[in-house]
């Protein structure tokens, strides 16, 4: 590991200033569950770390609001997952946290940092022997034509097919969450749908955040569709594994008629992926196993598969269909 400067500010403005002072070579450290791994692998070598773990003002959260839920960026995944109101009124949000990582990681990781976790592409993490445009721009992509079983089939480019690995951001995307950030230029609000970038020709640029910009808060608009929601995650083993396909689904139904459908996908795309065509196809009709399956298939019409990940088209369609029927069941009991 290489040496680096270390700062542990006590206020948001001091943290932002410390980032700006060392920009663009500083990295924010919160729970440390992603960055320390990458530093040990020599994938990341920041010249300065700004530790935001002492920013107590960012650790609180409130799920009792009548207009929005508010989560401080430094709140722990495990604390939010255990919130009874969230479990009842927004099960998709709570489940996306429960089904992520291990209890030890959830106890350390923050919900702000969780949004920024980096891909698990083995070629990215494997280092120098492998060309990787995300790690070293212009070097190529070992996954294209390589072992791509876990890679993306939506939002890919000829430069990168890495999958976005997170769960929480996918559930937040289904609910149109917004992020508040602070930088030396002031505050701004970013819709979650705009935070993550598709790789295009610049896969090393993963979000629209500036190097000196800190996420301070996540806000979720209140919706009755929250009660009839689920986060359905399919993976190789039942615990401590990343999604091969996942779907965050929320519904508002009137009798048998779908009045509102929200579908976001994980494990299959280069960023949290909103399946808007599938949502539109469900609107105004009855939700049956047949229409759920049709919506699932529609979500993958534009899929581009590689050598070993073609199964994700069928798996993804089934994941959506199952999630829709789970959410429908919850609509009846809510």
Residue numbers at the binding site for ligand SF4 (CB under 6 A)? 119, 121, 123-124, 132-134, 141-143, 160-162, 203
| Residue 34 to residues 15, 27, 147, 199, Cα–Cα distance (Å) | 20, 12, 23, 20
Are 231 and 92 contacting, i.e. CB atoms less than 8 angstroms apart? Answer: yes
Distance CA 229, CA 94 (A): 10
Are 144 and 155 contacting, i.e. CB atoms less than 8 angstroms apart? Answer: no
Distance CA 283, CA 253 (A): 10
In the complex, the smallest distance separating the C-beta of residue 203 from ligand SF4, rounded to whole angstroms, is 5
Judged by CB, which is closer to ligand SF4: 122, or 222?
122
Are 323 and 232 contacting, i.e. CB atoms less than 8 angstroms apart? Answer: yes
Phi, psi of 178 (to 5 degrees): -130, 150
Judged by CB, which is closer to ligand SF4: 123, or 164?
123
Judged by CB, which is closer to ligand SF4: 205, or 283?
205
Indicate the helix (H) or strand (E) that contains 289: helix 289-298
In the complex, the smallest distance separating the C-beta of residue 228 from ligand SF4, rounded to whole angstroms, is 36
Judged by CB, which is closer to ligand SF4: 41, or 283?
41
In the complex, the smallest distance separating the C-beta of residue 62 from ligand SF4, rounded to whole angstroms, is 37
In the complex, the smallest distance separating the C-beta of residue 37 from ligand SF4, rounded to whole angstroms, is 15
Judged by CB, which is closer to ligand SF4: 6, or 311?
311
Q: Residues 188-209, buried b or exposed e (16+ Cβ, 10 A)?
A: eebebbebbebbeeebeebbeb
Judged by CB, which is closer to ligand SF4: 204, or 235?
204
Rounded to a whole number, what is the distance in angstroms from the first to the last CA of the chain? 52
In the complex, the smallest distance separating the C-beta of residue 11 from ligand SF4, rounded to whole angstroms, is 36
Spatial strand order of the sheet with 214-221 comes to 61-62, 68-72, 214-221, 178-183, 186-191
Beta strands in 31-73 (DSSP E): 48-51, 61-62, 68-72
In the complex, the smallest distance separating the C-beta of residue 98 from ligand SF4, rounded to whole angstroms, is 27
Judged by CB, which is closer to ligand SF4: 139, or 257?
139
In the complex, the smallest distance separating the C-beta of residue 139 from ligand SF4, rounded to whole angstroms, is 8
Helix (H, G, I), strand (E, B) or coil at 169: helix
């Amino acid at each position: 590991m290489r040496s680096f400067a270390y700062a542990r500010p006590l206020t948001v403005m001091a943290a932002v200033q410390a980032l700006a002072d060392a920009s663009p070579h500083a990295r924010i450290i919160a729970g440390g569950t992603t960055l320390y791994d990458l530093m040990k692998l020599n994938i990341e070598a920041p010249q300065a770390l700004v530790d935001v773990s002492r920013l107590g003002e960012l650790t609180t959260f409130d799920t009792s609001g009548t207009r929005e839920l508010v989560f401080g960026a430094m709140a722990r995944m495990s604390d939010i997952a255990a919130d009874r109101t969230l479990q009842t009124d927004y099960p998709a949000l709570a489940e996306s946290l429960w089904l992520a990582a291990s209890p030890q990681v959830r106890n350390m990781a923050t919900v702000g940092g969780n949004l920024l976790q980096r891909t698990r592409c083995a070629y990215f993490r494997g280092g120098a022997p492998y060309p990787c445009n995300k790690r070293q721009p212009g070097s190529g992509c070992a996954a294209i034509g390589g072992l791509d079983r876990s890679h993306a089939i939506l939002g890919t480019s000829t430069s990168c097919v890495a999958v976005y690995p997170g769960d929480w951001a996918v559930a937040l995307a289904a609910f149109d969450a917004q992020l508040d950030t602070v930088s030396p230029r002031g505050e701004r609000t970013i819709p979650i749908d705009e935070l993550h970038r598709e790789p295009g020709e610049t896969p090393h640029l993963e979000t629209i955040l500036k190097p000196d910009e800190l996420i301070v808060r996540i806000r979720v608009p209140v919706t009755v569709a929250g009660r009839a929601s689920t986060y359905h995650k399919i993976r190789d083993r039942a615990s401590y594994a990343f999604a091969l396909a996942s779907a965050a689904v929320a519904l508002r139904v009137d009798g048998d008629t779908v009045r509102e459908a929200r579908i976001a996908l994980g494990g299959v795309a280069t960023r949290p992926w909103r399946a808007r065509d599938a949502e539109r196809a469900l609107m105004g009709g009855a939700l049956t196993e047949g229409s759920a399956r049709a919506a699932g298939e529609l979500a993958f019409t534009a899929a581009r598969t590689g050598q070993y990940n073609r199964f994700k088209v069928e798996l993804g369609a089934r994941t959506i269909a199952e999630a829709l029927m789970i959410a429908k069941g919850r609509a009846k009991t809510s």
